[in-house]
Amino acid sequence: MSAPTTPRTTVTEREARQVAEAAREQDWRKPSFAKELFLGRFRLDLIHPHPLPDDESVRRGEEFLAELRAFCESTIDSARIEREARIPDEVVAGLKELGALGMKIDPKYGGLGLTQLYYNKALALVGSASPAVGALLSAHQSIGVPQPLKMFGTQEQKDAFLPRCARTDISAFLLTEPDVGSDPARLATTAVPDGDTYVLDGVKLWTTNGVVADLLVVMARVPKSDGHKGGITAFVVEAASEGITVENRNAFMGLRGIENGVTRFHQVRVPAANRIGPEGAGLKIALTTLNTGRLSLPAMCAGSGKWCLKIAREWSAEREQWGKPVALHEAVGAKISFIAATTFALEAVLDLSSQMADEDRNDIRIEAALAKLYGSEMAWKMADELVQIRGGRGYETAESLKARGERGVPAEQILRDLRINRIFEGSTEIMHLLIAREAVDAHLSVAGDLIDPDKSLSDKAKAGASAGVFYAKWLPKLVAGPGQLPTSYGGFKHGVDLSGHLRYVERTARKLARSTFYAMSRWQGRMETKQGFLGRIVDIGAELFAMSAACVRAELLRARGEHGREAYQLADAFCRQARIRVEELFDRLWTNTDDLDRKVVKAVLAGSYTWLEEGVVDPSGDGPWIADATPGPSARDSARRPFGD
């Protein structure tokens, strides 16, 4: 007899898109470097001169980093966390004592009040000591209770919860469900109004920090009724509330110390005063929180790149093959060059985006998304190259290496730990679509009604007139620009010449915009289904953003007398490597197997190739693909384990 499965909430593709579009922040009140880049406008003035933090922020940030480094070196035992799959209570107690739970919380609530720049530097540092500890702190502050309350909470909510989050309480963010991932229109957890409370019922999956949390941010659907607008709504929920059961502590291929679980809500009463924002605003709150919250992942990715570079340098200088260090063999040297140049670029992207977030003079929703996308993809590649450089030792565990008398380098662990970043907080595929939607926003604003099948002929006529005016002004500007003048960006020529790379970015941004316009003209309403094309468009934009950030950072370091010559060399190497990737992506815009791939996929789903699966056994066993999440009381003992209990 097969296991029961949860009845699925049926939502059409159009309905799902409408929910996502309604939650998207649609206004552009401030300039955006990345948005302009996708429109073919290289606005170097928005990022150069490189923005800098004020002296007081630097002083407080550096003081905390020094304390955190000492704590990481003396108290965090990464090998123990990996071995026991737990973060020891004394580590969490020490982090609380340091104030690390409140890095981004205002001092008036007991926090440290660090800038986004120094918060990310702290995450990179602690994440290098233990990625699981980095994930704990990031989930607590970047997407847990503090950030949405900071942006959308009432004063009463801030007074009640922020002091707890700053010093004592761990928080978690609960959105995903067993059958709901990046499609929140099908959210099944409900919050039914009952007097001055809401009653929550449902099951949440992959609740990072959920096993140990004291406070939860929960997304639930409020039914529409008299006096209630309804819709997806955010709540602060006490994790110890009656009716909450942590049914399972999940285990993963990496991040073995992460406290991630399955949480069931059965008739859980939540005061209406704990609702964040109005009913129906939950998804917008979640997405807005992630605009800067996403920077925590590239922070830890940049830190991982630094560690990969250190190990690659030390090992490849020590290990000899055929009479010389392996680093001097070109096949290995190319990998080391890639790691060094890419680490420089990732830190450039991270610091630039973080400082722009602190200054709040630019809209960085696309920059933060690009940083997350690019950082997670490139960090994974760097870790993979490190494993290859280390050879058999890269595949061997640190514990095994140490047991036989060698340095316990956890190269295979970092590969496993980093893999989740391509899925966490928006998978690479979802990030491609999210960024692509923002990248074509200007086009849809003027021409969207032209390709909307539900619009009337008069609406389409008005849209056509507006589009004609917009494109008559915009298209001629894509023909020529500063990138074609040999003297442009001459301020980036100091020994090594970076001006040519910036001219390339300017020319290529215009080419990217022309390609996007051509695709919209060609496919019109079907453009949204061309996910392969849109992904490549976004990847080109990510490379151009990283090239720009790398050049601007190199010039900043040169001007400040901080390794300027070396920074210029690294920026030059990165830009040359990136240009090769960009040209490949442009080639694949129009020469690819996308159409054939769709045919093959349909045949696979139709069972046409099942003969190809013969000759193996499947160790998966039986059971449903998606666990039953029918609302009701839990039949399990709770696996909740607050730190210190």
User: CB under 8 Å to 371, separation ≥6 — which residues?
Assistant: 294, 295, 298, 349, 350, 353
Give the torsion sign (CA, 125, 301, 206, 369).
positive
Residue with tokens 């010093």: 167
For the residues 119-145, what does the mean pLDDT come to? 96
Average per-residue pLDDT for the chain: 92
How many Å apart are CA 470 and CA 439, to the nearest integer? 16
pLDDT for 219 equals 95
The residue with greater pLDDT, 447 or 482, is 482
* pLDDT per position as a tens digit, 39-97: 999 999 999 999 999 999 999 999 999 999 999 999 999 999 999 999 999 999 999 99
Q: How confident is the model at residue 350 (pLDDT cuts 50, 70, 90)?
A: very high
Whether 97 is catalytic is no
Which of 424, 380, 350 shows the shortest CA–CA distance to 135? 424
* pLDDT per position as a tens digit, 483-499: 999 999 999 999 999 99
Instruction: Determine which one of 247, 425, 506, 555 is catalytic.
Output: 425
Query: Helix, strand or coil for residue 442?
Result: helix
Render the burial of 464-482: b for 16+ CB within 10 Å, e for the rest: eebbeeeeeebeeebeebe
- Among 111-115, 338-342, 453-457, the least confident range: 453-457
For the residues 98-123, what does the mean pLDDT come to? 97
How many Å apart are CA 287 and CA 361, to the nearest integer? 20
How many Å apart are CA 106 and CA 36, to the nearest integer? 33
* pLDDT per position as a tens digit, 555-564: 999 999 999 9
pLDDT at residue 476 is higher than 50? yes
How many Å apart are CA 33 and CA 364, to the nearest integer? 8
For the residues 426-453, what does the mean pLDDT come to? 80
Share of the chain above pLDDT 90, in %: 78
The residue with greater pLDDT, 324 or 590, is 590
pLDDT for 4 equals 44
How many Å apart are CA 153 and CA 145, to the nearest integer? 10
- The tokens describing 50, both together, are 């490189």
Do the beta carbons of residue 626 and residue 262 sit within 8 Å? no
User: CB under 8 Å to 111, separation ≥6 — which residues?
Assistant: 99, 102, 103, 104, 105, 146, 162, 166
